[in-house]
Every structure is written in C-alpha cells, then in structure tokens.
C-alpha cells in the first residue's frame, strides 16, 4: 500500500535457485486422481536460475527474460503471463502479503527449458523468496514451502536445496544431510519433453507388459549411503530412473547420448527426471571438466556441475 504524497522508490531483490537432478526416481502406477506417487532422491546442482524482483509503482505482475540468460531462448515456449510459474508464485505471495506492490520479475534462464531439471520450479522458488523479502512478508521457510507445494511438486525442493528424499508427489521432503560433493556433466538437448507425456508413455509401456507396479514408499538406502560418503563408483551402480525408458521411447537419440557419455569415461549416466537432459556421473571435478570438454568437441551441449548446493537464497537487495 502506498502512502499518498510519498515518493515511490523501487527496490530490487535478486535471488538464485538451483536446478535439480533425480539421482533415483521410482514411479508408482497411475493413481485414480491422475497423478503418480514417486520415491526420489533429489540433488540440487550448481546450475542456477536467477530472478530479480523489482517493486513497481503500477500494480500488477510483469515478467521478462534477461538477455544474460545462457540458454538460446529463440523459439522456446516460455509464457510470460499467468502461465509462467514465477508469475504464479508472485501472485500467491501478493495474496498473503499485506504490503504487496506491483512487481516486475526478470528471469535469467540457465536450466534447460522442459529439460527435466525443474527450471520453472526454480524460478517459482526464487520468486517466492524474492517477493517475501520485497514485501517484508516475514513468512517462515515452512510457510514458504507450503506455498511452494501449491505451485508444483518440484518447487519445495528448489527452496530447500541440498540432498533430499521426496515421497508422495515428490513434495513430501526429508533433507538427507548428505554433504559430500559428487560431480556430474549435464548434456542438454535442443528440444524439450513434456513431463505429462513422459508419464503417459511410461503407463503405456507398463500396460503393454501387463506387470503390476507397486506404490513406491521408500528410496534405495544404497543411494543415500553412496551420496553421504561421496563414493561416486558406488553411486554409479545404483542410479535409477523409472522414467528413463519412457523418455528414450519418445526420444531414441538419448540412448546415444548416454552411450557416448559412458564411452568417454562417465561412471554412469541417467536421464534427469522426465528428460531430455542427461546427467553423467564423473569420478571427480577434473574428470567432469574433461568429460564435458570431450563431449562439447563432439557437438554436445555439455556442462560440468556439482552438488549438493544450497537452495534458493538472496544474492542482492538494492534500493
């Protein structure tokens, strides 16, 4: 609310929030409500989205994409209105904030769009935190996590960061306190996959096999043990993603990407979430950098990252 006669001064809060990979992802059968239960180990990695939220005198929410984005956004379908997850996050925060103003959100995109790394979810998590600061809403992390879950199953994890086990729709999170670093090479595709379509494909493949799938209720403890000790070789043996075969069915080229990662020295490779980004596990940071360099030489969009990294955090706050 503005005070009549007072001069408006705008303020910008900038927040960064990480993308994620699912180190393990077990997917249950299609539920009556149309969703799938999952049991997953999430790892936040050092590839960040950034949202700069600037208060505006005019009411309402506007969204733009920053020219500093490292993705080629030509021809990429990112809605800038109410369809954008960051817009929806700001709208939810405005509803619960007494001192909400208009806001402009400038998003710097680095996480591949529709890549299975929760890029839109990271934008939403960053926006929740930025608007909370901008409007002095004073919500606790727990209250923010609650709003995050309303926006999408992957949004709470981008707020939390680190390593966590996700059950239910992936939003029932328990931090896993695994701090040892693992090193990965992300190979982005120049197209996206629709998450609902990947799930539908998995249901179709399973129906054709006639095998009953159990509801997942826990993750493989070996994944957490390997992450806690940072034992990349052991971790490489237990990576699992039930969605991988559906992603490969929709995009057979992923098989080649996984194969070329392994033939260039990756310990193991996995499709991240619903894909098509592939995450290749390396021995250490040096091996990851050299694997990324090799793959780039063969024309892949490869980037070395590490995890776990912290969740969404404020990087600047300027008047």
Instruction: Give the DSSP letter string of the chain.
Output: -PPTTPPP---EEEEEEEEEEEEEEEEEEEPTTS-EEEEEEEEEEEEEEEEEEEEESS-SEEEEE-TT-SS--TT-----STTSHHHHHHHHHHHH-TT--EEEEEEE--SPTTSSS-HHHHHHHHHHHHHHHHTT----HHHHHHHHHHH-TTHHHHHHBSEEEEETTTTEEEE----S-EEEEEEE-SS---HHHHHHHHHHHHHHHT---PPP-S--HHHHHHHHHT-HHHHHHH-EETTHHHHHHH-THHHHHHHHHHHTT-SEEEE-TTSS-EEEEESSHHHHHHHHHHHHHTT-EEEEEEE--B-SEEEEEE-
Minimum CB distance to ligand ATP smaller for 124 or for 295: 124
113 among annotated binding-site residues: yes
116 among annotated binding-site residues: yes
Instruction: Provide the annotated active-site residues.
Output: 20, 154
Of 274, 279, 307, 309, which one interacts with ligand ATP (CB under 6 A)?
274
Indicate whether 196 belongs to the interface with ligand ATP (CB under 6 A): no
- Using CB under 6 A as the binding rule, the residues of this chain from 32 to 91 that contact ligand ATP are 77-79, 83-86
Residue 263 beta carbon to ligand ATP: minimum distance, rounded to whole angstroms: 26
Minimum CB distance to ligand ATP smaller for 105 or for 232: 105
Minimum CB distance to ligand ATP smaller for 90 or for 139: 90
Residue 272 beta carbon to ligand ATP: minimum distance, rounded to whole angstroms: 8
175 among annotated binding-site residues: no
Minimum CB distance to ligand ATP smaller for 135 or for 157: 157
Where does this chain bind ligand ATP (CB under 6 A)?
77-79, 83-86, 107, 113-121, 123, 154, 192, 195, 273-274
Binding residues for ATP, as ranges, are 112-122
């Amino acid at each position: 609310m503005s005070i009549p006669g007072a001069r408006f001064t705008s303020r910008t809060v900038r927040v960064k929030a990480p993308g994620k990979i699912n180190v393990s992802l077990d997917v249950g059968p299609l539920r009556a409500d149309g969703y799938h239960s999952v049991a997953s180990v999430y790892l936040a990695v050092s590839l960040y989205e950034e949202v700069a939220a600037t208060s505006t005198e005019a009411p309402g929410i506007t969204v733009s994409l920053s020219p500093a984005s490292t993705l080629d956004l030509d021809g990429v379908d990112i809605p800038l209105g109410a369809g954008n997850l960051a817009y929806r996050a700001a709208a939810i925060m405005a509803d619960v904030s007494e001192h909400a103003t208009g806001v402009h959100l400038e998003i710097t995109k680095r996480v591949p769009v529709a890549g299975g790394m929760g890029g839109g979810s990271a934008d939403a998590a960053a926006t929740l935190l930025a608007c909370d600061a901008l409007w002095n809403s004073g919500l606790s992390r727990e209250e923010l996590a609650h709003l995050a879950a309303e926006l999408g199953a992957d949004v709470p994890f981008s707020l939390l960061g680190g390593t966590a086990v996700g059950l239910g729709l992936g939003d029932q999170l328990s931090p896993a306190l695994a701090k040892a670093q693992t090193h990965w090479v992300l190979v982005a595709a120049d197209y996206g996959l629709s998450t609902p379509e990947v799930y539908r494909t998995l249901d179709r493949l399973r129906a054709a096999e006639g095998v009953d799938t159990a509801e997942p209720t826990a993750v493989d403890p070996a994944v957490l043990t390997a992450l806690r000790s940072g034992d990349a070789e052991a971790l490489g043996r237990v990576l699992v993603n039930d969605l991988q075969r559906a992603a490969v069915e929709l995009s057979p080229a992923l098989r080649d990407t996984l194969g070329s990662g392994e033939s260039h020295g990756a310990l193991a490779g996995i499709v991240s979430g619903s894909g098509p980004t592939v995450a290749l596990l390396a021995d250490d940071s040096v091996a990851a950098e050299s694997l990324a360099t090799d793959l780039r030489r063969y024309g892949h969009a490869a980037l070395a990252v590490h995890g776990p990294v912290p969740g969404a955090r404020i990087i600047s706050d300027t008047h």
